[in-house]
């Protein structure tokens, strides 16, 4: 299955190379994600990267990120990845509590976290990012603060903090429905988030996106492409793309993905191909633009919105924006629209207003 899937990835790259907007674009970032790519062999990962280098026009300072869990890497792996051209490592650390890591089904422990960071440094990685989760079952504010301080002590260039989300069909969802999942109350989760902002700012991390904090000059360039509504190409099962005015997603099922690619066609989900010339699609894409752009602490540039959609933000969402400003969620400042601190805390509620 793995070999068939990798072969399909290569075939998909070939198909995209027939599209001039993709073939002729300069690639600024590459991101190996969507799970745990380091479960693949290093030779397989670097083989895909070599194809990208060979066929796409990569910028000289292209940011090349790979996601990894501490339990899936070795010193040899990180050394090989770095030598092969990967220059940013995103580690799914989640917590520095062994009990919590076990409860959420992670295969690594805290010793492996420290070991993986040591290997990464020795292997030549400077640009290291940590993913951390708050709102875990039975997690206290003190435990969350302890995780943050231990993460800071390891001196990563970037930290992302995510509130636990429970998806239908997962073991956590089943436990939640049975009333057996001891999650922190909502007000405690809000306090965790706010204390995280304070602790990371005190450690001189820049809060530049709702969930993202970076040392000066080390923002994640790849994710900013999404948030600024710039074009990107996704390759593989479940990958999303925004190319030449079209927004679409690949089929999630690997077998369906491989079948379509083998047949010489892109594995695009039915009904997912959006273009803003359609009034319905345009409305949805404007909503996505607002949701993604407002994730950035700097907010949305009003001129860019109007250039992209041919209508001003105020004309498109006059009553919505007026109400959100009145309630203290949004703020106009320097020709931009951004979330207030209150808006950041209740961002999901704010975003829904642009899709109603």
Tens of pLDDT, residue by residue over 98-121, are: 998 888 878 888 999 999 999 999
Question: Is 240 domain-assigned?
Answer: no
Mean of pLDDT values over 289-298: 95
β-pair type (212-214, 240-243): unpaired
- Return the pLDDT at 302: 93
pTM of the predicted model, to two decimals? 0.91
Mean of pLDDT values over 267-287: 69
At 187-238, the pLDDT tens digits run: 999 999 999 999 999 999 999 999 999 999 999 999 999 999 899 999 999 9
Mean of pLDDT values over 168-184: 71
Query: What percent of the residues of the chain are helix, what percent strand, and what percent coil, each to the nearest 5?
Result: 45, 20, 35
Question: Is 334 domain-assigned?
Answer: yes
Q: Which domain holds residue 330?
A: 276-356
Domain boundary among 226, 256, 284: 226
At 32-70, the pLDDT tens digits run: 987 678 778 899 999 999 999 998 999 999 999 999 999
- Regarding whether 201 and 90 lie in a shared domain, the answer is yes
- Regarding whether 184 and 90 lie in a shared domain, the answer is yes
- Regarding whether 222 and 297 lie in a shared domain, the answer is no
Q: In this structure, what CATH number is given to the domain that contains residue 334?
A: 1.10.10.920
Q: Inform me whether the pLDDT recorded for 279 exceeds 60.
A: no
- Return the pLDDT at 245: 75
- Regarding whether 213 and 281 lie in a shared domain, the answer is no
- Regarding whether 293 and 181 lie in a shared domain, the answer is no
- Return the pLDDT at 274: 52
Mean of pLDDT values over 143-157: 97
- Regarding whether 197 and 306 lie in a shared domain, the answer is no
Question: Is 2 domain-assigned?
Answer: no
Question: Is 356 domain-assigned?
Answer: yes
DSSP element (H, E) containing 88? strand 88-94
- Regarding whether 198 and 311 lie in a shared domain, the answer is no
Mean of pLDDT values over 309-320: 93
- Return the pLDDT at 347: 95
Question: Is 85 domain-assigned?
Answer: yes
- Return the pLDDT at 278: 57
Question: Is 249 domain-assigned?
Answer: no
- Regarding whether 282 and 217 lie in a shared domain, the answer is no
Cross-strand bridge partners of residue 67: 90
Q: In this structure, what CATH number is given to the domain that contains residue 75?
A: 3.20.20.70
- Return the pLDDT at 126: 96
- Regarding whether 34 and 141 lie in a shared domain, the answer is yes
Within 8 A by CB and 6+ apart from 100, the residues are 94, 136, 137, 138, 139, 143
Domain boundary among 168, 203, 226: 226
Domain boundary among 211, 226, 241: 226
- Regarding whether 175 and 42 lie in a shared domain, the answer is yes
- Regarding whether 104 and 44 lie in a shared domain, the answer is yes
- Return the pLDDT at 90: 97
What is the count of structural domains for the chain? 2
Label residue 16 left, alpha or beta by phi (over 0 means left) and psi (-120 to 50 means alpha): alpha
Q: Mean pLDDT across the chain, nearest whole number?
A: 90
Residue 290: pLDDT band (50, 70, 90) is: very high
- Regarding whether 48 and 115 lie in a shared domain, the answer is yes
Q: Inform me whether the pLDDT recorded for 174 exceeds 80.
A: no
């Amino acid at each position: 299955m793995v070999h068939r899937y990798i072969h399909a990835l290569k075939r998909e790259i070939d198909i995209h190379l027939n599209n001039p907007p993709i073939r002729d674009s300069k690639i600024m970032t590459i991101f190996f994600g969507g799970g745990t790519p380091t479960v693949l062999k290093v030779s397989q990962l670097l083989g895909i990267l070599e194809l990208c280098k060979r066929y796409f026009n990569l910028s000289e300072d292209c940011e090349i990120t790979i996601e990894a869990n501490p339990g899936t890497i070795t010193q040899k792996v990180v050394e090989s990845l770095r030598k092969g051209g990967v220059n940013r490592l995103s580690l799914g650390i989640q917590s520095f509590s062994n009990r919590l890591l076990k409860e959420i089904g992670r295969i690594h422990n805290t010793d492996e976290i420290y070991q993986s960071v040591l290997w990464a440094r020795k292997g030549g990685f400077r640009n290291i990012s940590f993913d951390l989760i708050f709102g875990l079952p039975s997690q206290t504010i003190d435990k969350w603060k302890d995780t943050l301080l231990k993460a800071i002590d390891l001196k990563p260039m970037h930290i992302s903090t995510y509130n636990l989300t429970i998806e239908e069909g997962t073991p956590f969802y089943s436990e939640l429905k049975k009333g057996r999942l001891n999650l922190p109350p909502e007000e405690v989760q809000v306090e965790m988030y706010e204390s995280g902002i304070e602790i990371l700012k005190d450690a001189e991390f820049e809060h530049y996106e709702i969930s993202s904090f970076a040392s000066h000059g080390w923002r994640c360039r790849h994710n900013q492409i999404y948030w600024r509504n710039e074009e990107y190409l996704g390759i593989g099962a479940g990958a999303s793309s925004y190319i030449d005015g079209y927004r679409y997603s690949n089929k999630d099922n690997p077998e369906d993905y491989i079948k379509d690619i083998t047949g010489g066609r892109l594995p695009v989900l039915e009904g997912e191909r959006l273009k803003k010339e359609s009034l319905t699609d345009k409305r949805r894409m404007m909503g996505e633009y607002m949701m993604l752009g407002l994730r950035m602490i700097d907010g949305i540039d009003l001129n860019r919105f109007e250039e992209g959609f041919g209508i001003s933000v105020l004309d498109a969402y006059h009553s919505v924006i007026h109400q959100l400003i009145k309630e203290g969620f949004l703020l106009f400042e320097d020709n931009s629209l951004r979330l207030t601190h209150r808006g950041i805390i209740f961002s999901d509620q704010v975003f829904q207003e642009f899709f109603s």
